[in-house]
């Protein structure tokens, strides 16, 4: 069976809920002198990280995802979960001297989020990692993790002639402009959310329309507005699923990417791919956690 390679952070998620609004704790004129404290009414530990989240939805969609990344000495519990769901972990590199990364995600009543990410093994392990068997891989996605490793993976995949989708995420501010351009223009396409698209165009001093001219596609996810698909000829908006009762927004972006990839490898029209991405994301929105949904 053809394989889809999924790279990015592998982490345990600490999901916390704040029964209020972040905005009520912010004083605009005092942002240089912040001292904030939030009471988390709920705390739940779950499996997370961009790469496993994407892989989980891909597996539910009938694909064969291969995880490729770095985890720590406490990974076995996570590995058992992934293997029980049919996701191979043979290409997950274990750093025995460090813990697996962790994300502390606090969500307010308006579904805004504050995240503190501790990279653990991702940062402690050497940047260079290699696949045990690259044969049969038809597509890869580079999603957020250590910036140096993202740069390395771009070069590594180009060397192996593996086409990849680039998902820079929250790493845009820390990726050097030259490396960011290399990763973008070495990819077949880019996926970002609205805020990330602003960071991207500002850092590269260009427009999304200009970037799209050198790519097969550029997608901006837009939450309840769906997504915007940029191609060389222009852009088109694809509507989100309507009337979704949102329980937890964590991981919906990863689910979108999985849905889009599923359609892409099945050679569907790009608009159809985006529609599947929107529907996959909507499914994740309805449950707590990033790997608790079913179709």
pLDDT higher than threshold 80 for residue 84: yes
**Local confidence band at 76 (pLDDT 50, 70, 90 cut-offs):** very high
**Local confidence band at 103 (pLDDT 50, 70, 90 cut-offs):** confident
What is the pLDDT of the chain when averaged over all its residues? 94
How far is CA 2 from each of CA 64, 180, 279, rounded to the nearest angstrom?
7, 29, 23
pLDDT for the residue numbered 113: 86
pLDDT higher than threshold 80 for residue 30: no
Half-sphere exposure of 12 (CA within 13 A, CB side): 19
How does pLDDT run across 114-165, given as a tens digit for each residue? 888 899 999 999 999 999 989 999 999 999 999 999 999 999 999 999 999 9
pLDDT for the residue numbered 26: 84
> Is the Cα dihedral 151, 230, 244, 283 positive or negative?
negative
pLDDT higher than threshold 80 for residue 53: yes
Among residues 170, 152, 166, the alpha carbon closest in space to that of 69 is found at: 152
CATH topology of domain 3-285: 3.40.1190
Could you list the beta-strand ranges (E) of the chain.
Answer: 3-7, 11-18, 40-48, 65-71, 92-94, 101-107, 113-118, 137-142, 164-166, 189-193, 217-221, 227-231, 234-238
Q: Which of 161-170, 173-182, 241-250 has the lowest mean pLDDT?
A: 241-250
How does pLDDT run across 188-237, given as a tens digit for each residue? 999 999 999 999 999 999 999 999 999 999 999 999 999 999 999 999 99
pLDDT higher than threshold 90 for residue 184: yes
- Where exactly are the structural domains of the chain? 3-285
pLDDT higher than threshold 80 for residue 267: yes
The total of other beta-carbon atoms located within 10 Å of residue 179's CB is: 17
Percent of the chain predicted with pLDDT > 70: 100
Mean pLDDT across 40-67: 93
């Amino acid at each position: 069976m053809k394989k889809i390679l999924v790279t990015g952070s592998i982490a345990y998620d600490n999901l916390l809920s704040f029964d209020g609004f972040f905005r009520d704790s912010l004083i605009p004129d005092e942002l240089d002198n912040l001292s904030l404290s939030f009471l988390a009414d709920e705390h739940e530990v779950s499996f997370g990280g961009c790469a496993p989240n994407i892989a989980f939805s891909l597996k539910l969609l009938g694909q064969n995802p291969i995880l490729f990344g770095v985890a720590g000495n406490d990974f076995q519990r996570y590995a058992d979960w992934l293997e029980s769901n049919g996701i191979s972990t043979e290409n997950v590199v274990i750093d025995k001297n460090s813990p697996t990364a962790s994300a502390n995600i606090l969500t307010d009543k308006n579904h805004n989020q504050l995240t503190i990410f501790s990279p653990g093994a991702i940062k402690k392990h050497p940047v260079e990692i290699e696949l045990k068997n690259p044969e049969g891989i038809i597509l890869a996605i580079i999603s957020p993790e250590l910036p140096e490793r993202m740069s390395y993976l771009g070069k590594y995949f180009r060397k192996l002639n593996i086409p990849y989708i680039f998902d820079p995420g929250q790493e845009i501010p820390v990726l050097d402009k030259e490396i960011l351009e290399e990763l973008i223009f070495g990819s077949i396409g880019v996926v970002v959310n609205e805020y990330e698209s602003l960071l991207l165009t500002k850092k590269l001093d260009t427009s999304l329309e200009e970037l799209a001219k050198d790519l097969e596609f550029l997608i901006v996810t837009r939450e309840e507005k769906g997504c915007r698909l940029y191609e060389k000829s222009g852009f088109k908006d694809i509507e989100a699923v309507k009337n979704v009762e949102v329980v937890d927004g964590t991981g919906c972006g990863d689910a979108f990417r999985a849905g889009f990839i599923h359609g892409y490898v099945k050679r569907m029209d790009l608009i159809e791919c985006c529609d599947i991405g929107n529907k996959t994301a909507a499914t994740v929105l309805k449950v707590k956690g990033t790997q608790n949904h079913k179709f």
